Structure 1
Amino acid sequence: MSSGGGRAALRVAVIGGGPRGASAVERLLANWPGARDTGRSELRITVFDPFAPGPGRVWRPEQPREFLMNTPCLYPTVIPSEPGVAPPLAGGSFREWLGRQAGRGAEAPDEAEALAPASYPPRALYGRYLADTFAAIVAAAPEGASVAHVALEVVRLGRTPHGWAVTTADGRAREADAVVLALGHVPTKPNRAQRDLVDAAARLGLTYLPPAAPADVDWDVLPAGRTVLVRGMGLNFFDVMVRLTEGRGGRFKDGPEGLEYVPSGREPRLVAASRRGVPYRGKAELSAYYAPSVRLRWFTREAALAPRAAGVTPSFDTDFWPLLHRDTLWAYYATLARTQPDAIGPGFLDALEAALETPGAGWEARAEGAVVAGVVRGSRLDLRGLGTPLAGQHFASRSELDARVLAHLDDDAAGSARGEDDPVKMAIAALHRGRAVLKEVVADGGITEESWVAGLRGWFEGLVEGLASGPPSVRIRQLAALIRAGVVSTVGPEPRFSVDRGAGCFVAESPWVGGRPVYAAAMVEALAPANVVAAADSPLLSGLLADGLVRPKYLAGADGVPRPASGLDVTAPPYRPLDVNGHAVPGLYVLGLQLSAVQWGTAIAAEAHPFGPPGEANDGAPYPSGQRTLRDADLVARDILGL
């Protein structure tokens, strides 16, 4: 960026103090020693966030301990270990931080010592890591660099003759030469259906909790013993579930037939609903983040990048999914042959491998023929059916439905416990590995807009999230225990929600389930707020959009009509937003979730050590995508510093 008129001090505002903002600060400080010859003698960084820098709002350490991370201890970091970037000044990965807590004699060390590398830690503990790491980064600031924190929300950002004016909620404006938008999750304006529910709740004296981060919700407003409708059975659902059960004094214990729940008597009665009628599948119990036995043979990084190297913009459905589909089939049937040899006929794996090696469009029919001829009917993979296990089934009553859901949960938990010996979990493991490749190759226009909209985001994202983005397996076992205890029940697939004004209740029912609908005086939206910039309930984003300083990214679907995507329109890295006229805005940068229209999987944290052991590329090279968020921060920092 420009030298800002020769001023000796370079003033950088980082708006958002969560992990993305902390990464921006860390990279600015790490790169600062190399920027001394650019005419600046001082670097002043100001982090704007109402919450403490490092954890920010989402990871704040004071949140309930029942809320678990969705990645194991060995995975996340905010400190890069990639070659080719300025070495970090302080800090390490989460796992390394845990190791340093041993023997320090406080609450957190005992908790840390009890965690194995593959354990899923409390989010509050990860918040401690982020806070400690940020403090270490600031303490190690090189000569001439300083970091300040303003514990206020930024409500306005405007251009000045010399840079930017950053206005906080108290009305004060501070000047900056460069601004990094690292906003993370921002509140979302309610849609029309949600506004109707809010209005109905106000008129009828009902309790309605709209989409929100679970740590931000006052759960005490939900009375004990009363029915509470919960819409959504993804990751937020499990936070709701555990907060209203174990968080109210109930406890889980091992019984003769598995996990049991002992109620405290303070729980509400939860009735959960989702489009599929079942929750996300639980994660396999593994010793590593990726299943060591699953190696991608067809959807390698080299194969995925080949179209781009040839000057062709690939399609997800045509170019990528057929390769990943092959790997998913092979992972399933190779595991089946190893663990259940009686389920396959002689020569099946050879026939399947030959079919998967078939070039062109004929491979799928040939593979299907090999499966029909060589695998017993009940052991064949129905990949789409894994995500919708209740599809096409009718239930005479909700008790019959709950029995079917319970059987599904028990089966899923047993599969998780088998780990690498479970064919279904290894098929999902191949999808999980494939996401790492996809995250890199689809970024920044890596696939056609039509296949981004209709393929990747249209059908694949929902499938892979329901299968590979689920909770730790303990949550599935806990949900099963709660259903057995009569604390939780379900509505059924494709639920419909309404308000019965005569009865003064919320109503939920499924067209696939007979009997009476569910009536409740309380309803919880267990849905993460939508990450859509145009719908953000943020004075800062709204002002930037209204002023034309940023604009949503538009993508064309199958009909060729451009429609606004979820994220901002930006340049290639270092991701400067485009204004309403399509011009790059100097001195303004975007990191994190607001890049969701040009990156896929923006919410996934950086991987601690993606460069060892080697990954799936044909030459044995590891995936470089595991620390993409940290590399983005490094590119932004270097551009700000003029490197």
Structure 2
Amino acid sequence: MKQRTVHTVGIIGVGPRGLSVLERIVENARDRVDTPIVINLFEPWNFGSGDVWRTDQSPDLIMNIVSSQITAFADDSVQISGPVRYGPSLYEWSVKLAAGDISGTYGAEVIAEAADVHENTYCRRSFYGHYLEWAYRELVRNRPATIDIREHRCKVVSVLDTDSGGQLVTGDGGQAVEVDELVLATGHGAVGLSAAEQRLRSFADGVGGLFQPPANPADVDLDRIAPGQRILVRGLGLSFFDYMSLLTAGRGGRYERHDGTLRYLPSGKEPHIVCGSRRGVPLHGRADNEKGDRRYEPKVLTEAHIDKLRSNAGPDGALDFRRDCWPLVAKEVETVYYTRLVEIREGKEAADEFSTLYTFLPWSCDSEGVVLRKFDVPEEQYWDWSRVAQPWTGTDIASSRSWTEFLMSYLAADVFEARQGNISSAVKSALDVLRDIRNEMRYVMKNGGIEGSSYQNDVEGWFNSLHAFLSLGPPWSRIEELMALIDCGVVEVAGPRFSVEFDEAEGVFVGRSAVPDDVHRSTVLIDARLPKVDLARTSNSILVHLKEQQQVKHFTVRTASAGEYITGGVAVTERPFRVIRSDGSIHAKRYVFGVPTEGVNWVTETGIRPHVNSITVGDSDSIARAVLGLSA
């Protein structure tokens, strides 16, 4: 690194990813950099927790990952060039907090939650926010004397290159700071309304109704929805469960268990919620964790195998997802499922023999059936991806009554499997594989690893939705709560292929599904889906500015027909993710990390998981070392 009087760094956004970059800068600089470093942090919310994990949000909002599988620190499993300094996971921090070994002032409610946390607890999001803010304070307190950290509680609105080679960062309060190196870790940003959403908004405004576009439910003013009011909710993903909780338990309702069945006792302040989605059923409930902080290690979807496929794929190495990658993903899932089935029926020795015979057979070949028959796996238990993706049949949607009967049976079965655990249940152990192999999936996807038309049609158009449905769901307790809310009449789940339009003559939104006569009317529509990453529509102030200055561009993926598919993500280089300008040039000292790069990278919103070689930590370490001028 070139010796200077002071080396200045800026980090825009100090939620989990900005915090990880800060942690990596501090640890890489500790014994390796003698030059004084000034790190300027720009964050309008609290440092460490940012917006999504802020500590003042509703206690009814919970995480969908257990406390032992989330951390803010690197560990020895991560393949990085920088040093590792131990830091506790959320679970380990909770134990210390409950024992009085964590410094800081915390309210009685936070201490009480810490005392109740075990390694498989799904904590409140606000509780995780307290952990992140503690981690930030610890970094500041334990930083080496050569590092000065300066906080700027503001939203950045512009960045301009200076004649001296620096970057002038300006906040919304007018404050301006010049830095040498700049990292953008802005996380989920709001996006402007699409043309279709604008029409829905205009209609709602015209009839005195309400249209709520995709947003973080914690940020939405739900007081506008009156008790008893019928509302339509589009989407059955994680945001739906947040809205469900905020509009029920968040309004004073209570759950009680009677003879093993969960019941909901309304407060009378709830609206009547009619919800639905194209698939018709909510995301799979997350199973009880039996793995601790371990993960399933893939057998066929390995980096070596992926590299071999790339070497045979032509000059650019781009793969076709359905042809090259999906068979490997499917094979991993099905092998775990069948191995567990055999173990349940015949014991571990037979399961080991089955795995040896089955694992490396080509996916969907005749020999797989031979092995399944050898171990007497009943045909009715064969894994069927089409049935997994669409669990209902034409008979199930023949009438509202048959749909409700199917739905409640389906939800009860999902809860039953989830309560067995992610090892004991054959189904849930298989689905958990999709979480465990994300490192390898990211390796497949990164930087245009999938050919453009295949990425558009197979990844974005099909697999991402399937992956979310099967592996990104809420704790199973949320599914059980949904059943209780259906039972007491507070929630009504419309049939599959749910769509919503507006009727100008009636002055209402109208929701319809594939179930005959399944029609619902309301003046309120909530779109319970996360905003899609889209540089074209972003309303993030700094990305808007950089786009206007032609300092960022869309990431595009080359197609086999010599065309390009334009993703919604920001174009960056491979690690350390330097920004690519509109003219194709690379800004050597500006980096974008995390969610805004979705498309270049894959499933960028997931956190740091300990002891599984977290790619997020590897990414942040590469940025930190580039910022410090250290080799990777």
Same fold (TM over 0.5): yes
Give the alignment partner of residue 94 of structure 1, picking from 90, 99, 112: 90
Call closer, same or farther: CA 1:556–1:301 in 2, change over 3 Å.
closer
How many pairs were matched up?
A: 614
1:36-55 alignment runs, 5 A limit? 36-37=33-34, 40=35, 42-55=36-49
Quick one: distance in 2 between partners of 1:569 and 1:58? Answer: 24
Contact 2:594-2:604 within 8 A present in 1 as well: yes
Call closer, same or farther: CA 1:146–1:350 in 2, change over 3 Å.
closer
Call closer, same or farther: CA 1:180–1:357 in 2, change over 3 Å.
closer
Call closer, same or farther: CA 1:352–1:25 in 2, change over 3 Å.
closer
Alignment correspondent of 1:492? 495
- Please tell me the residue identity of whatever aligns with 1:593: V
1:229-240 alignment runs, 5 A limit? 229-240=232-243
How far apart are residue 325 of structure 1 and its match? 1.9
2:29 paired with 1:32: yes
Call closer, same or farther: CA 1:192–1:393 in 2, change over 3 Å.
farther
1:591-602 alignment runs, 5 A limit? 591-602=593-604
Question: Secondary structure of the equivalent of 2:588?
Answer: coil
Call closer, same or farther: CA 1:632–1:298 in 2, change over 3 Å.
closer
Alignment correspondent of 2:392? 390
Alignment correspondent of 1:333? 338
Give the alignment partner of residue 213 of structure 1, picking from 216, 219, 238: 216
2:632 paired with 1:642: no
1:126-525 alignment runs, 5 A limit? 126-162=128-164, 163-288=166-291, 296-308=298-310, 313=317, 314-340=319-345, 354=357, 357-358=360-361, 363-368=364-369, 374-390=376-392, 392-393=394-395, 395-419=397-421, 420-510=423-513, 512-525=514-527
How far apart are residue 509 of structure 1 and its match? 0.4
- Please tell me the residue identity of whatever aligns with 1:136: E
- Please tell me the residue identity of whatever aligns with 1:46: N
Contact 1:280-1:471 within 8 A present in 2 as well: yes
Question: Secondary structure of the equivalent of 1:77?
Answer: coil
Contact 1:454-1:558 within 8 A present in 2 as well: no
Quick one: distance in 2 between partners of 1:489 and 1:89? Answer: 50
How far apart are residue 467 of structure 1 and its match? 0.5
Moved more, 631-640 or 123-132: 631-640
Question: Secondary structure of the equivalent of 2:580?
Answer: coil
Moved more, 86-95 or 43-52: 86-95
- Please tell me the residue identity of whatever aligns with 2:341: L
Alignment correspondent of 2:104? none
How far apart are residue 91 of structure 1 and its match? 4.2
Moved more, 28-37 or 127-136: 28-37
- Please tell me the residue identity of whatever aligns with 2:27: A
Moved more, 377-386 or 573-582: 377-386
How far apart are residue 546 of structure 1 and its match? 2.0
- Please tell me the residue identity of whatever aligns with 2:601: Q
2:59 paired with 1:65: yes
Give the alignment partner of residue 9 of structure 1, picking from 3, 6, 9: 6
Give the alignment partner of residue 124 of structure 2, picking from 118, 122, 125: 122
Alignment correspondent of 1:56? 50
Quick one: distance in 2 between partners of 1:179 and 1:384? Answer: 46
Contact 2:160-2:167 within 8 A present in 1 as well: yes
Alignment correspondent of 1:618? none
Quick one: distance in 1 between partners of 2:273 and 2:163? Answer: 56
How far apart are residue 571 of structure 1 and its match? 1.3
Unaligned runs of 5+ in 1: 611-623
Quick one: distance in 1 between partners of 2:294 and 2:181? Answer: 42
Question: Secondary structure of the equivalent of 2:579?
Answer: coil
Contact 1:89-1:140 within 8 A present in 2 as well: no
Call closer, same or farther: CA 1:330–1:499 in 2, change over 3 Å.
same
Alignment correspondent of 2:69? 75
Output one character per residue of 1:16-48: Cα deviation in whole Å (capped at 9) or x when no partner.
Answer: 1111111122222222234545xx3x2111111
Give the alignment partner of residue 616 of structure 2, picking from 595, 607, 629: 629
How far apart are residue 402 of structure 1 and its match? 2.4
Give the alignment partner of residue 23 of structure 1, picking from 14, 20, 23: 20
How far apart are residue 349 of structure 1 and its match? 9.9
Quick one: distance in 2 between partners of 1:218 and 1:14? Answer: 30
Call closer, same or farther: CA 1:132–1:357 in 2, change over 3 Å.
closer
Call closer, same or farther: CA 1:79–1:500 in 2, change over 3 Å.
same
Unaligned runs of 5+ in 2: 101-106
Quick one: distance in 2 between partners of 1:391 and 1:200? Answer: 35
Quick one: distance in 2 between partners of 1:310 and 1:634? Answer: 31
Quick one: distance in 1 between partners of 2:390 and 2:435? Answer: 18
Moved more, 224-233 or 27-36: 27-36
- Please tell me the residue identity of whatever aligns with 2:532: A
Quick one: distance in 2 between partners of 1:324 and 1:116? Answer: 32
Moved more, 445-454 or 94-103: 445-454
Contact 1:296-1:434 within 8 A present in 2 as well: yes
Output one character per residue of 1:449-506: Cα deviation in whole Å (capped at 9) or x when no partner.
Answer: 4443333333222112101111111011111111111111112111221112222211
Relative to the length of structure 1, the TM-score reads 0.89
Quick one: distance in 1 between partners of 2:253 and 2:392? Answer: 30
How far apart are residue 236 of structure 1 and its match? 0.7
Quick one: distance in 1 between partners of 2:507 and 2:560? Answer: 44
Quick one: distance in 2 between partners of 1:189 and 1:296? Answer: 40
CA RMSD in angstroms comes to 2.6
Moved more, 329-338 or 155-164: 329-338
How far apart are residue 369 of structure 1 and its match? 6.4
How far apart are residue 400 of structure 1 and its match? 3.5
Contact 1:290-1:429 within 8 A present in 2 as well: no
Contact 1:453-1:556 within 8 A present in 2 as well: no
Contact 1:352-1:370 within 8 A present in 2 as well: no
Give percent identity, aligned residues only.
31
How far apart are residue 603 of structure 1 and its match? 1.0
Quick one: distance in 1 between partners of 2:523 and 2:85? Answer: 54
How far apart are residue 65 of structure 1 and its match? 1.1
- Please tell me the residue identity of whatever aligns with 1:28: I
Quick one: distance in 2 between partners of 1:271 and 1:586? Answer: 51
Quick one: distance in 2 between partners of 1:492 and 1:17? Answer: 41
Contact 2:320-2:454 within 8 A present in 1 as well: yes
Contact 2:248-2:266 within 8 A present in 1 as well: yes
Question: Secondary structure of the equivalent of 2:58?
Answer: coil
Quick one: distance in 2 between partners of 1:337 and 1:35? Answer: 53
Output one character per residue of 1:114-153: Cα deviation in whole Å (capped at 9) or x when no partner.
Answer: 1110111111000000001101111112113111221111
How far apart are residue 238 of structure 1 and its match? 0.6
Alignment correspondent of 2:112? 110
Quick one: distance in 1 between partners of 2:370 and 2:203? Answer: 55
- Please tell me the residue identity of whatever aligns with 1:280: L
Output one character per residue of 1:337-371: Cα deviation in whole Å (capped at 9) or x when no partner.
Answer: 333569xxxx9997896565445x8x524435665
Contact 1:55-1:128 within 8 A present in 2 as well: yes
Quick one: distance in 2 between partners of 1:421 and 1:33? Answer: 45
Alignment correspondent of 1:589? 591
